[in-house]
Amino acid sequence: MKEIHKRSITGFIYALLFLLSLKSFISFTILIFVFGLISHAEFNRLIKQKGISSYIIFTLLFSFFSYYSYYFNSIDLSNSFFNEAIEILLVFSIFVLLFSIRDLFITKDLPEFLTRKYINSVFYISSSFIFMFLIGNYNNVFNPNLILGCFILVWVNDTFAFIVGSKVGKQKLFMTVSPKKTVEGFLGGLFFCCICSFPIANYIGELNFTNWLIISIIISVFGTMGDLVESKYKRKSLVKDSGIILPGHGGLLDRLDSIMFASPFIYLFLKTLSNVS
């Protein structure tokens, strides 16, 4: 089978599976949890981490947040303990992710405590899927339109970054990490991602155009950073793809790295928006 056909079929199945999961809270929760477990397996392979501790921690954290989200959605109550737990996870996650971005610019090694494998497993992989789940349950109400809009923006950004970069890209973005990425490709992805926020605001709704525009910028900037961070992990592990679960595309991390990295920042924006409105 030709590579382009293989990629098309895999991409269609992947997109269909995601869209079908948006039909209910339960199906969405199961999909995000399964995606999280698979991503943990691929990440553990990249960092050469053995054992089941990362899976147990992720399962406990995800179970806690999904249970409370469902419970308070059912009885229409807010809970300070649950909200404080989210805020604590958000602060630690963004702290670790910002240091990951810092590591792209500085060749000097990170502080030792940040290189510990379980720190990255919890506040890079586990928390990313928790915040993806929470975006889809914004304000403890299952709202698939928000996460759908975010995924569409990610796909638009990645697609046009590749197209523009391959056509006119000359200036390398991070040569030592990802030689194929260019500044022109990044700007092209950012531009079309911002353009796409207009039809999303009109047809998906939930937020106004200005808010979707801000989310599109967050996705383009931090999604690109996430792609670069994962590329650095793969380069250190001397592998091309994070896995083989998606024929023609590589691993699940290769497809989700952008939305994973951006999700805490998207949730931070939504939380800020909720507090000021």
pLDDT tens, position by position, 186-216: 899 999 999 999 999 988 877 889 999 999 9
SS3 172: strand
* Angstrom distance (rounded) from CA 94 to CA 115: 15
User: For the chain, how many structural domains are there in total?
Assistant: 1
Secondary structure of residue 204 in the 3-state scheme: coil
Q: What is the pLDDT of residues 94-143, one digit of tens each?
A: 998 988 888 777 765 544 444 566 677 888 889 999 999 999 888 777 88
Q: Are 101 and 112 in contact (CB under 8 A)?
A: no
Q: How far apart are CA 126 and CA 62, in angstroms?
A: 8
Domain encompassing residue 72: 3-276
Averaged pLDDT for residues 262-273: 92
Residue type, 25: F
CA distance 166 to 223: 19
Taking CA atoms, 241 is separated from 124, 175, 218, 220, in Å, by: 18, 18, 25, 21
18-64 pLDDT tens trace: 888 888 889 999 999 999 999 888 888 888 888 788 889 999 999 98
Render pLDDT for 148-161 as a digit per residue (tens, 0 to 9).
999 999 999 988 88
How many Cβ atoms from other residues are within 10 Å of residue 151's Cβ? 20
Kindly state the percentage of the chain with pLDDT values over 70.
85
**Terminal Cα-to-Cα distance of the chain (whole angstroms):** 52
Rg (CA), the chain: 18
